[in-house]
Amino acid sequence: MKSVRIAGGLGFYGDSWRPIKASIERGNVRYVASDHLAELTLAILQKDRQRDPNLGYTRDFAPMLLDLLPLAIPRGVKFILNAGGLNPMAAREVLLGALKKFGIKLKVGVVLGDSVLERLDELQESGISLAHMDTGAEIATVRDRLLFASAYLGARPLVEALDAGADIVLTGRVADAALFLAPMIHELGWRWDDWDKLAQGIVVGHLLECSGQATGGNFGGDWRSIPDLAHIGYPIAEVWENGDAVISKAPGTGGRVNFDTLREQLFYEVHDPHHYLTPDVDVDMTTVHLDEIAPDEVRVIGATGRPAPELLKIVAGYEDGVMGQAMLGYAWPDALAKAQSAAEIIKQQMVEVGLKTEEIVVEYMGFNSIHGPLADSMHAKELNEVYLRIAVRCADKKEAAKLGRLFPPLALSGPPFIGGAGGMIEPRGLLGIWPTLAPRSVIEEYIRVSVEES
């Protein structure tokens, strides 16, 4: 039976591509599918694009490809990446330029049409409310503050690019798992209504889309039992024509693939497991079976699918104030009490200098900055050190910057024994995320695919 082997690439913008080398050299893969876009990433890319209209893609992808292509080209390995971000055309130009510079001849496909920011008026005029899909709030409340709006596309345009011979496919926003589903459909000839096979493909893609999270990274179980995270292998899937799959990793790499590491990733960012909605299929994960068949090899079978949803998800981002933040460390004895006393000083001074905030968060790092009100206070009095962190939400940068200026005087005129006064932290623009829905027809008519040789 025919099969295809696909390697998981990056899990986010900034992830390491070193483990992909092992997958290419020793994993016998035909494709690398690489997810550069978390929800948060579009916010980062939007800031880039505001500074320079030629940016807006994830800038790690070209160095990554130039590093990996010498290994990939002799083995015929192809790449599918959503590194186009908010500007896939600019990403293509950068890539074509780099390939030409090094005399590398490859076909580069690009998928356009996920961005709907320019068309929101048109969508609203055609009767689509664009209300917030979780809260039901009307988009008018954020409309004039929107910075981007991208629909999650499915695997179809990616398959089209592969069918046209693309060696590298660059996309903007697509469903993460669609990056993986596309080569399966291209290679295995699945139909667009083979719902169970498509569901298997999505489950496999979902397992692979977060790099090391499938192979023992961020493992919530016995993390000490995971070997050699310094040389972790990223996941590799072999998928057969009938949809059955085996997840593994390259020989000689660290990390672990087993029932526990994979079931953790199966539910990562999943809501209703009966209906994991993607543009290509509505997936039921409650029928999936994960069976350990060999060390670091797990068979994945049984996912079932229902027809693809009529509505596609759009995620928009809007300006939502500016965060100012400041930190200072206090040493034993009474580290927490000192930090709390310093927080009271700062809060009084915030009022006195007229700092206008919409929200204030006070955290004690080393005590409760991660678990918040759930932190265990049993040993609070004996902590060796505690960092006070205050963060404020303000209307603009000027206002937010006032917070940082209140901190340095604490060194000489506050509670004793400080450390770690690391200088002021620049205020940072905050983005609200606006998830909404639109009929697939109004999105899909704008999708364009083109393939060009370098």
Partner 1 sequence: MKKQLVELAHARSGDKGDIANIALFAPDWTTYDLFVREVTAERVRTHFEGIVNGKVARYEVPNVLALNFVMHGALNGGASRSLRSDALGKSLSSALLRMEIEV
Give exposure, 158-169, as e/b (b: 16+ Cβ within 10 Å): bbbbbeeebbbb
The site map against partner 1 for 121-160 (x = CB under 8 A) is -------------x--------------------------
260 binds partner 1 (CB under 8 A): yes
The Cβ-side half-sphere exposure at 329, using a 13 Å CA radius, reads 11
Length of the chain: 454
404 binds partner 1 (CB under 8 A): no
- Give the bridge partners for 429, in sequence order: 322
Distance, CA of 68 to CA of 105 (rounded, Å): 15
The DSSP bridge pattern shows strands 3-8 and 146-151 to be unpaired
Q: Name which of 213 and 215 has its Cβ closer to partner 1.
A: 213
106 binds partner 1 (CB under 8 A): no
Q: Name which of 38 and 96 has its Cβ closer to partner 1.
A: 38
255 binds partner 1 (CB under 8 A): no
264 binds partner 1 (CB under 8 A): yes
Give residues 292-321 in contact with partner 1 (rule: CB under 8 A): 302, 315, 317, 320-321
Distance, CA of 276 to CA of 290 (rounded, Å): 18
Q: Please report how close the Cβ of residue 325 comes to partner 1 at its closest, in angstroms.
A: 8
Q: Please report how close the Cβ of residue 392 comes to partner 1 at its closest, in angstroms.
A: 7
Distance, CA of 190 to CA of 87 (rounded, Å): 30
Helices (H), 102-246: 120-125, 156-163, 178-188, 195-208
76 binds partner 1 (CB under 8 A): no
Rg (CA), the chain: 24
Q: Name which of 253 and 368 has its Cβ closer to partner 1.
A: 368
Q: Which of 272, 291, 344, 396 binds partner 1 (CB under 8 A)?
A: 272
Q: Please report how close the Cβ of residue 373 comes to partner 1 at its closest, in angstroms.
A: 4
Contacts of 135 (CB under 8 A, 6+ apart): none
Q: Please report how close the Cβ of residue 220 comes to partner 1 at its closest, in angstroms.
A: 4
* Distance (Å) of CA 370 to CA 181, 267, 336: 36, 22, 15
Chain position carrying tokens 């969508």:
123
Q: Which of 309, 408, 432, 439 binds partner 1 (CB under 8 A)?
A: 432
The site map against partner 1 for 25-54 (x = CB under 8 A) is --------------xx--x-----------
Which range touches partner 1 (CB under 8 A), out of 21-29, 97-105, 361-369, 409-417? 361-369
Q: Please report how close the Cβ of residue 259 comes to partner 1 at its closest, in angstroms.
A: 8
Q: Which of 323, 388, 410, 451 binds partner 1 (CB under 8 A)?
A: 323
Q: Name which of 69 and 199 has its Cβ closer to partner 1.
A: 199
Distance, CA of 150 to CA of 434 (rounded, Å): 10
Q: Which of 163, 192, 332, 435 binds partner 1 (CB under 8 A)?
A: 435
Q: Which of 137, 140, 164, 270 binds partner 1 (CB under 8 A)?
A: 270
Q: Which of 74, 76, 230, 271 binds partner 1 (CB under 8 A)?
A: 271
Q: Which of 287, 340, 349, 450 binds partner 1 (CB under 8 A)?
A: 287
Q: Which of 76, 354, 372, 423 binds partner 1 (CB under 8 A)?
A: 372
Q: Which of 268, 307, 411, 422 binds partner 1 (CB under 8 A)?
A: 268
**Residue 97 phi, psi dihedral angles, 5° rounding:** -60, -45
Q: DSSP letter string over 340-382?
A: HHHHHHHHHHHHHTT---SEEEEEEETTTTTTGGGS--TTGGG
273 binds partner 1 (CB under 8 A): yes
Q: Which of 71, 73, 229, 433 binds partner 1 (CB under 8 A)?
A: 433
430 binds partner 1 (CB under 8 A): yes
Which range touches partner 1 (CB under 8 A), out of 176-184, 241-249, 272-280, 334-342? 272-280
- Give the bridge partners for 316, in sequence order: 149, 434
How remote is the C-alpha of 407 from its chain's centroid?
Answer: 34
> Contact, 179 vs 158, CB < 8 A?
yes
> Contact, 281 vs 245, CB < 8 A?
no
39-44 own/partner pairs: CB under 8 Å, 24+ apart? 39/315, 39/433, 41/12, 41/13, 41/85, 42/85, 42/86, 42/148, 42/150, 42/173, 42/315, 42/317, 43/147, 43/317, 43/431, 44/13
Q: Which residues bind partner 1 (CB under 8 A)?
A: 39-40, 43, 134, 213, 218-222, 259-260, 263-274, 285-290, 302, 315, 317, 320-321, 323, 325, 359, 361, 363, 365, 369-374, 376, 389, 391-393, 430-433, 435
